[in-house]
Structure 1
Amino acid sequence: MPADLSPADKAKYAAAKRAVEFIEDGMRVGLGTGSTAAWMVRLLGKRVREEGLRITGVPTSSRTAKQAREEGITVVSLDEAGWLDLTIDGTDEFDPDLNLIKGGGGAHLQEKIVAAASDQMIVIADTAKDVPQLGAFPLPVEVIPFGLKATKALVEETLVPLDVAGRKVTLRMNGDAPFVTDEGNHILDLHLGRIGNPSRLSLVLNQVPGVVENGLFIDLCSRVIIGHIDGSAEIRKPKVDTAENGRDDDGEIRNIFADLGD
């Protein structure tokens, strides 16, 4: 571990280092976006250069693609790669069932598509992302530019009967202009405080015309690797240990789309 890292970066480095150990020769790997995922890409590139590890990377954003190429990782599109063995990505929050809020960096649409097309999703995080209930971090919702005001009003109305603590909706900005995603869309940030039923909220939001995708990742994450400032890392699996609700006999999340890769 580099000696001059901040405590937060030490934890991110530790989680990323442990996650990269799951990658094997010949794998097709989804490469996440964000500050923690950037450490993962850097460490994966080191394995490629020093160990001769042969992998194919599918980035979840243009900035991840740029970094991966600079690290010497072979980069292809998801359509070129087909089904993936593994995706490693960061998160903004995760709860005891490994439901996630993602999209703080504005890449959750591509991140969710890549995660859904993978046998496993490993999330890397520091302890600050571990929460008893989702919602303190604003929930990103990607929307198309056309009819933006109408879509925002519909989202606000949709939230009224739902089990959330707050209902403030703001348009994400980049300076004086709306933030633009890699797909040319905008993002509404939902300041909810607490999300009582993440699955229901995700389903309802995606029914709103103009909404492309929300930042709730449900039944996609297989495990979370939590890094600590002392350089150690722990692996967290869902607390519910049943074969129901998309979990296998070991309690790990089973990607509900996994059979499509067969």
Structure 2
Amino acid sequence: MKLGIGSGSTIVYAVERIVEKVKEENLKLICVPTSFQAEQLILDNNLTLGNLTTCPQLDCAIDGADEVDSNLNLIKGGGGCHTQEKIVASCASKLVIIADYKKDSIRLGEKYKKGIPIEVVPSAYTPVGERIKRTLGGEAHLRMAKQKAGPVVTDNGNFILDWHFPDTVTDWKQVNTEIKMMPGMKFALSFKSKEAFLK
């Protein structure tokens, strides 16, 4: 089995259970990480590490979410690795989102107040932020690092804008399409989960 392993605190518990199943059932499992953190988690638990070059098609991907609405739209990327998370999810036949009840909401932005993360090429963060504000409303702020001077830099070498969207935004499919079409954009926002399991 080929499994995508996501990032975040809930995934640590999922991996612990996966390790138990591998031992109990002698499973042959290759794990493809979505981030440096996920890679370390795989290695620390002595699971077989793979990548999308050798495993471009995955049976399943598991990941966490920052918020899940009643239509299974997700906010991801609070940890800054949503581009890789989205790529790994797109390679999987099934996506399983693991989140506790605190992440469950009627509409996006109800509980997660940090904005929707948008990964951008460094040279494009100002024009993309202004274009988002002009076309979609709200405010897009460059995410600044806490342990170093300057902005947060993703595993892919990009910057993150956190978009604080207006309450009037409800058509997430259209918003996602509009943002993805902006030059300098890498990956954004919410995406539709094939399955969302709230723990």
In structure 1, give the amino acid aligned to 2:15: V
| AA in 2 matched with 1:31 | I
Q: In structure 2, what is the equivalent of residue 11 of structure 1?
A: none
Kindly indicate whether the alpha-carbon contact (under 8 Å) linking 1:170 and 1:190 is maintained by their aligned counterparts in 2.
yes
Q: Considering only aligned residues, what root-mean-square deviation do their CA atoms show, in Å? A: 1.5
- Write the mapping of 1:34-183 to structure 2, written as runs, cut at 5 A: 34-136=8-110, 137=112, 138-160=115-137, 167-175=138-146, 176-183=149-156
Q: Deviations over 1:175-222 (max 9, x none)?
A: 23100100000100011253311101100011111111102112xx23
Q: Could you tell me the TM-score, scaled by structure 1's length? A: 0.70
How many angstroms does 1:50 deviate by?
Answer: 4.5
2:164 paired with 1:191: yes
Residue matched to 1:163:
none
Deviations 1:104-139 (A, max 9, x none): 111110111111111110111111111111134311
Distance in 1 (CA, whole Å) between partners of 2:19 and 2:166 is 38
Contact 2:125 2:161 in 1 (8 A): no
Query: 2:195 — aligned with what?
Result: 223
Q: Which has the larger radius of gyration?
A: 1
Contact 1:158 1:205 (8 Å CA) reproduced:
no
Query: 1:206 maps to which residue?
Result: 180
Contact 2:7 2:64 in 1 (8 A): yes
On the 8 A contact 2:67/2:105 being kept in 1, the answer is: yes
For residues 212 and 82 of structure 1, the distance between their equivalents in structure 2, rounded to whole angstroms, comes to 20
Letter in 2 for 1:142: E
1-side partners of 2:119 and 2:172: how far apart? Answer: 17
Q: Distance in 2 between matches of 1:46 and 1:182?
A: 29
Q: Which runs of 4+ in 1 moved over 6 A?
A: none
Shift of the alpha carbon at 1:96?
Answer: 1.9
CA contact (8 A) 1:172 1:178 kept: yes
Aligned residues: 193
Return closer, same or farther for 1:223/1:101 CA change in 2, 3 Å cut-off: same
What is the alpha-carbon distance in structure 2 between the residues aligned to residue 65 and residue 226 of structure 1? 24
Deviation at 1:147, TM superposition (A): 3.3
TM-score (normalizing by structure 2): 0.91
Does the 8 A contact of 2:7 with 2:35 survive in 1?
Answer: yes
- Runs (5+) with no aligned partner, structure 2: none
Distance 1:35 1:206 in 2: 28
| Alignment check: 8 A CA contact 1:46 1:71 kept | no
For each residue in 1:70-127, what CA deviation from the matched residue of structure 2 results, as whole angstroms up to 9, or x when unmatched? 1011111112112111011111111222111111111110111111111110111111
